[in-house]
Structure 1
């Protein structure tokens, strides 16, 4: 008579359950890696961070990672962050090789360092370089952000392409118009009311070379192009004796 074999207990063995759990966790790990590699925008990354924190039961603040253009950061904090980035790049580029010595030992900084936009674009009426009341209020805010510092301030004037059709007589080209807008901004920021140091400023005329909106054919649609942008540099003004004016 054949000997009866004892039946194994029902269900999967213990080692298989543990192995399945480990495999599932590894799969989730690689899915997260792929997901992170596909995220290009800061907001999307922050959303993923929040979901991961919820999944692991983490509470409290800190879900948002600060960036250099975070509006909650003060001007000083943003400049310090840019300075750390610059120092890091300088350290990475340092080498023991002294290189070839040229005839001139002195160097000149042609372009200022990293720039931070202050206060958003300041817009103008069609064909005009006159500051509106709203523009003056924006400039008052910008002045409070930069007063007490000695960083170089860049004012970039822009024009819309349509403005070339009916330029006022005092403007020959869009270069003149965009420069006049930058200069009007400088005049206000260095006026007795605001009283910023004029030696801190650099003016740039861009004409219509850097439009915000393209292929729009009415003055209202092109309004964002009629603007001035105020940026502060990490560079410190030491040797400038008067405002610098440049065509871009």
Structure 2
């Protein structure tokens, strides 16, 4: 009789509470295991397996006549987007708006709605001289901007390669000056041109191989939605 009384001292809810804690522990272990899956293909296989086990197959939709539409058609794209977002956050995310976009190889020449026409001409990394190809590109740009009233920005750039006899600011400025002189020869009005230099601080490509660096040895020619100030 005493033994029966001792067993009755344990509340019945303890059993239910223990089961619940075991389920929670299992759930958290599953979450940790899912976060460790690095390969996208394995991650998709795991999601499809979970869908088959816990998906909508037992829902009210199964009671409807006719063939069921696929319920996982958008699952890969949604899950992939979620993982991409998580990976981006892990890399530090993109907290501010940038001219380089989401990918380091994607870039707008100049952000904003005021840019109308223009283009880019490229130089040899150690040179300030216009090539025949660059002159041909500048003739096409000049044809677009001739006869218009808007302001023209000529902005020189350089790669990070050291060039004997130049610093990056001077190298980029001289490239811009040569482009400006060529545009003047094509008939572009001097009062419309604004000359600037960014040195090596606005690279198109951050990589250090030769082909990537050459993209940074350039001059941008842009026509903005503004007119030169009237003389006083």
TM-score (norm 1): 0.47
Q: CA contact under 8 A between 2:158 and 2:217: conserved in structure 1?
A: yes
Partner of 2:204: 212
8 Å CA contact retained: 1:117, 1:229: no
1 CA distance for matches of 2:128 and 2:231? 26
Is there any run of 5+ residues in structure 1 with no aligned partner, and where?
1-19, 25-30, 39-81, 83-113, 242-248
State the secondary structure of the residue aligned to 1:210: coil
* Corresponding position of 1:237: 228
The structure 2 residue matched to 1:189, chosen from 183, 204, 209, is 183
* Equivalent residue number for residue 158 of structure 1: 157
Structure having the larger proportion of residues in helix: 2
Partner of 1:223: 214
Contact 1:199 1:240 in 2 (8 A): no
Runs of 4+ in 1 over 2 A off after TM superposition: 238-241
- In the superposition, relative to structure 1, how do residues 157 and 240 fare at CA in structure 2: closer, same or farther (>3 Å)? farther
1:182–1:205 CA contact under 8 A, matched in 2: yes
- Figure out how many residues of one structure are paired with residues of the other and give that number: 139
In the TM superposition, what is the alpha-carbon distance from 1:238 to its structure 2 partner?
Answer: 3.3
Q: Deviation digits for residues 176-206 of structure 1, max 9, x if unmatched?
A: 0000011100000001xx1110110011100
1:159, distance to aligned residue in structure 2 (A): 0.1
CA distance in 2 between counterparts of 1:117 and 1:222 reads 25
Greater radius of gyration (CA):
2
Instruction: Report what 1:122 is aligned to.
Output: 121
- Contact between 2:116 and 2:223, CA under 8 Å: does it hold in 1? yes
* Per-residue deviation, residues 18-72 of structure 1 (Å, max 9, x unmatched): xx9xxx9xxxxxx9xxx9xx9xxxxxxxxxxxxxxxxxxxxxxxxxxxxxxxxxx
Matched, 1:138 2:137: yes
**Alpha-carbon distance between aligned partners in 1 of 2:201 and 2:231, rounded to the nearest angstrom:** 27
Q: Aligned-pair distance for 1:221?
A: 3.4
Structure 2, gaps ≥5 residues long = 1-64, 82-112
Which residue number corresponds to residue 94 of structure 2? Answer: none
Q: TM-score, normalised by structure 2?
A: 0.50
Hey, what's the Cα distance between the residues in 2 that align with 1:178 and 1:188?
16
Structure-1 residue corresponding to 2:92: none
Counterpart CA distance in 1 for 2:218 and 2:155 is: 8
CA offset at residue 115 of structure 1? 2.1
In structure 2, which of residues 173, 184, 188 is the aligned counterpart of residue 179 of structure 1? 173
